[in-house]
Structure 1
Amino acid sequence: MENVGIVVEDLPGAIEFFTELGLELEGQATVDQDWAARVCGFDELRCDIAMLRTPDGDGHVELMSYHTPTAIRTGPANAPANTLGLHRVLFAVEDIEGVVAGLRSRGVELLGELTSIEGAYLFCYVRGPEGIIVAFAEKLG
């Protein structure tokens, strides 16, 4: 997989959230070319994007903030984990307790608990930008 795309209203805030998790901002641009509108099925398109690379260099998160057409929300702002559709991204981390502590210092709370999965992983969910669920897993042993 190359990347996961996330539409956000607050692009700077979303960039800050993901860079604090260790992703590296590769670049930002405004996209308003005809080909982009055609790909998305719009008559016209203008959006700001930011591409962030995961620490291992193998994956990316693409953040998009639409100006034209304006973004729409089709479901609840803080949809629960069992909502149909794509709304969660998971990151493998080496120090999940440190990640959680850093997020808590920014006011981000766990959705449930930091949980051991059969002694193999520590796992948790937090609410990220625009209400998406961001999961973290630390392999144990």
Structure 2
Amino acid sequence: MAKNKLLRMDNIGIVVESLDDAISFFSEIGLRLEGRAKIEGEWAGRVTGLGSQHVEIAMMVTPDGHSRLELSRFLTPPVISDHRTAPVNALGYLRAMFTVEDIDELVARLIKRGAQLVGEVVRYENSYKLCYIRGTEGLLIGLAEELGNK
């Protein structure tokens, strides 16, 4: 019997309180809103195990079109847990990492919009500049700038 092969990773999902704020934040990083929809009905609850649910989603896509971020706002059932203030060494979902062209410029822009630098922007050898940022709703985001021959 042939082993099933992985084809791709479609998206990462993040539950938020405000889709508009999250869309604005991720647009500032450089993702594009691909679409917005309401998902409800018995079929959706069978997928998530939540039963009857009503969720508004927004799909954000990276400029290369290969990676997506699904932002979800649950109308019903209500959100029952909040991991946004968990420290970097907490178990479970941690962060999404984005490669950017100019990390210092983007960090300055995001801080003006209320984001907070978690530690500092650091250089890893001659390969990357890296940092973690807490953006809208305290979401933890990693940023990386490839240095190459800089």
TM-score (norm 2): 0.89
Contact 1:52–1:62 (Cα < 8 Å) also in 2:
yes
* Residue type of the alignment partner of 1:84: L
Secondary structure of 1:9's aligned partner: coil
Contact 2:116–2:135 (Cα < 8 Å) also in 1:
no
Are 1:8 and 2:19 counterparts? no
Q: CA deviation at 1:122?
A: 0.1
Secondary structure of 2:105's aligned partner: helix
Are 1:47 and 2:55 counterparts? yes
CA deviation digits over 1:57-79, x for unaligned, max 9?
1000000000110112254x411
Name the counterpart of 2:91: 84
Contact 2:119–2:131 (Cα < 8 Å) also in 1:
yes
Secondary structure of 2:117's aligned partner: coil
* Residue type of the alignment partner of 1:73: S
* Residue type of the alignment partner of 1:6: I
Q: Taking every aligned residue pair, what percent have the same amino acid on both sides? A: 48
* Structure 1 vs Structure 2 CA RMSD: 1.2
Partners of 1:122 and 1:50 in 2: how far apart? 30
Higher relative contact order (CA 8 A, sep 6+): 1
Are 1:106 and 2:109 counterparts? no
Partners of 1:118 and 1:36 in 2: how far apart? 46
TM-score (norm 1): 0.94
CA deviation digits over 1:37-62, x for unaligned, max 9?
10011220101000010111100000
Secondary structure of 1:79's aligned partner: coil
* Residue type of the alignment partner of 2:72: M
What number of residue pairs does the alignment pair up?
A: 140
Runs of 4+ in structure 1 displaced over 4 angstroms?
none
Partners of 2:71 and 2:78 in 1: how far apart? 15
Contact 2:114–2:136 (Cα < 8 Å) also in 1:
no
Partners of 2:82 and 2:141 in 1: how far apart? 19
Partners of 1:110 and 1:89 in 2: how far apart? 15
Partners of 1:54 and 1:72 in 2: how far apart? 30
Name the counterpart of 2:5: none
User: Please, which runs of 5 or more residues in structure 2 have no aligned partner?
Assistant: 1-8
Among 28, 32, 53, the residue aligned to 1:24: 32
